[in-house]
Chain A
Amino acid sequence: MNKRIDAERRKRKRELFIIIGLGLLVFGVTYQMLHLPQLSSQVGIGSNILLFSIININLILLVLLIFLVIRNLVKLLFERKRRVMGTRLRTKLVVAFVSLSLVPTVLLFITAVIFITRSVENWFNVQVESSLQGSLEVAQAYYRDLAKNTIHYSREVGRLASTERGSKALEALLEKKRSEYNLAWIGMISPSGKVVVESTDPALTYKLEGLPQDAVQEVLKGKEMSKVTPYMGGGEIIWGGSPLYKEYKLAKQKKVRAGYLSNPFYEDYGEFRGSQLYDAQGIIGGVMVGYYVPQNLVAKMEDISQAFVDYRHSKLLKKPLTTNYIIIFLLITLVIIFSATWFGFRLAKELTVPIMELVDGTRRVASGDLDFHLSLEAADEIGTLVSAFNKMTHDLKTSKVQIEESTRALQRTTLEREQRRKYMEIVLENVTAGVISLDKEGRITTVNKSAERMLDLQAKDILGENYRKVLQPEYRRLVRELIKEINTARSESIQKQMEVALQDKVFTVRASVNILRDEQGEYLGMVAVFDDLTHLIKMQRLSAWREVARRIAHEIKNPLTPIQLSAQRIYKRYRNKIDGDAGIFEECTNTIIHQVTELKNLVNEFSNFARMPAVNPTPNDLNEIISSSIVLFKEAHRDISFHFFPDPALPVFKVDRDQMKRVFINILDNAVAAVDGGGVIEIEVKYDAALQMVTLEVRDNGSGVPDEDKPKLFEPYFSTKKSGTGTGLGLAIVNAIVSDHNGYIRVRDNHPKGTKFIIDLPLRQ
């Protein structure tokens, strides 16, 4: 992250330097361009090279700028397409900058173009051209006239010379005419090109540098010629020449030779004979005159000429010049527009990059990355915003750390509390004692499983309810008494054993009620612990009864045999000796013997009960055991309907067949006795595979068992049968056998009528 930010910062610095450098370069180059044309008239070709270099650099810079702008534009377009964050703002800023710069720049450009075009038009207007043209034509006319004049003078001198004889006369003529015509020089030339006679203006400082030979040659060929040559002392000499003929005839009207030039200075024409010119035209020489044009005049005419030339040059360049200026203006316009666009990009970037960073940062902070730190450096409001964001992130992080620490501590506490609570709950759930707690308003706050089982209720139905609302009136009274007792005793706890009849069950419970107080001793409610003593008491009673039975059997059985034997002996010895009351004697002795036998049987029963053999479980089918037990009763009691509902799913399991058969026989015996001659007895087997438990129900529609007898039903020598018909040991034995099989027997009322014995037997002993 930091590396990326550093790289970005370096890149920005580099870009800034490049921009400043380019800006300075463009400025310098433009400055040079503006000033160089003035220098160029003084400096040589080097300046041109420099100029071209500058122009090229300028072009390159412009191209670079265009490239940067186009690149940024294309980038912006692509980013807009990809919906990159911040592109909209950037687009708006760029458009705003371009619009703001475009309108004035374009207006300025148009104005400049119009101005330049009109200015150039004015420079090259017709008046300027015609005046320059006029001046030039004057100068040209001057030269032309001078040329004509010199030719005319030469011709005139030739004509006059034809009448003169001798060199002196000719020289005088030439001198006279030179002075008259204001010529610089007059001379007569022989056919060979030599100057024969001449007259020179003495005012000329420098000697004339010979005649223009090409013009002389032309003259000797018969042409009238004019030529301009420079004069060494400045200015020019305008030469004019015409040929001299052998015969010269002046005819004003006709331009034909008509006169004779009769040998003015040649003694003999013979040397011309054979010459084509001489033969054909009679040319015997030429006259040349020179007119001196002073330096200042020449310079002025040259100035006029140069001005015209310059004007024509410029006019020639009128269109290119206008185009050039327009292009320069266009370039400047483009530079301004592109610079504005680029500046727009720059500004947009300066604004959007921190905003994007902030957005990114906000997202990251929102997603939980509080280590995020913005490294943007700015001195403006963005910088303030960034530092505020960083401070916020830092504060958030600190707060988060503190909260996390608090949360961890809280979690630890909660966990510990929860573990403790769970442990307590587990303890509560697993204690055999039922636990019920009330808060200070009397609302039930805790009911453990044992309490649910014991009191046959669902915790969820009563939790949060007031005990007064939940409890039946008699129990409410009981609880109230307990509370009263606590209050009276001013004790924090109380224990009490009581019998609780719940629906068809009667429990013997020991209730312990404790007042709950907090650390400050404030009353929080109370907790009641119920210990189910029913089974314990039952087992204690069973054990006690067994001991009693054993002792009775021992104490009673011993004298019974002698009593029986004595009675039998008395009967045998004295039956024949007693007369009269023999019947009484026999009846009494038989009664003794019979009762002793009965007593013996009773004692044997007791003895059997006391000395119940150890259980010998072997794999057996309980359905079959029950079925075989029922068969006996079905035969004996045809008036009673026996219904057996075996459970085919019940597997074979280890059970003592004989003892279990005895259990069923005893129970069925009781049931038969209960229905008293007619009724229905149902035996149902239910197997719970999950609990590995088999439940047997023996239901009859007999007279039923009163609730107060139910706790004693499985005690020895308790019978509801008529006296003499039961030993009171049947159900005690059943209970003993079931207990030996780790099972449990209970009695319930059968609805709508009768009794129901329920035996729960575990399959695994």
Chain B
Amino acid sequence: MSTLVLLLFTGLGLGALYFLVAAGLSLIYGLMGVLNFAHGAFLTLGAFTGWEIARRTGSDNWGTFLLSLVIGAAAGAAFAAFTEFVLIRRLYQRHIEQVLVTVGLSLAAVALFDGIWGTDPVYIQGPAWFKDTTEILGARIPNDRFVCIVAAVLVLLALVFFLQKTRYGMIIRAGVENRSMVTALGIDVRKAFTLVFTIGGAAAGLGGVLASHYFGYVSPMLGGSLLIFAFIVTVIGGLGSLTGAAIAAVAVAVLQQFANFYLGGTGDFVVVLALALVLLFRPTGLLGRTA
């Protein structure tokens, strides 16, 4: 029983990270039709920025941790806004070129990170409480899992609030459904594009800082490895659906943990199998738009 609980919470913690990356990907794709290959780079930049802050201010207390979260999110947001404004915007409507540009950007960015911080993983220390464990139903859960879960839930609530209660949120919801009709109502969707990219970048940056604590290290490859799972989550959840991404993120991560434990380390493989099954029986994903 305690193993089950441990696996569950580890899965939820990982799922929280997947969600933070997938949420941005899903919205960007849903609204803009762009597959943002550079999304992992936003995450990595957030993680490294957070690490730099922690390094300079002494990383073992809550204050600096929260600061690193904020700065990491800001770094991700800035990188994303820059990407959209300088690279994506001038390729308006040319979706394949937009994808290609994000591919080039991810190559260049990871190489740049290699150059600045080196290719070896850098170990990170958080507040001491992170390394402690809390006991739930007989399982000892490392506390950093809770931080990830809480952060992801807060982000989800914030995003839902934004989408439901603000004008730009309304524009984005409408645009995900029918972008051309939004322009035919006289709305400049390009502002929404930048906004969605920035939000996605902020979530990814935040996810990066959390990931560095969850895994215990930062490296230029961090974003790339998480990105692939975020892609899987986005497809399974349904492109363009925030709730789909949330559900799929939890499902995928928990499945992965259980498969790793009970089926001898085949977690990654099982996840891909799940993707295959979803594609065979429901190609638009769990909650994706059918068009």
A, B from the same assembly: no
Q: Enumerate chain A interface residues (CB-CB to B < 8 A).
A: none
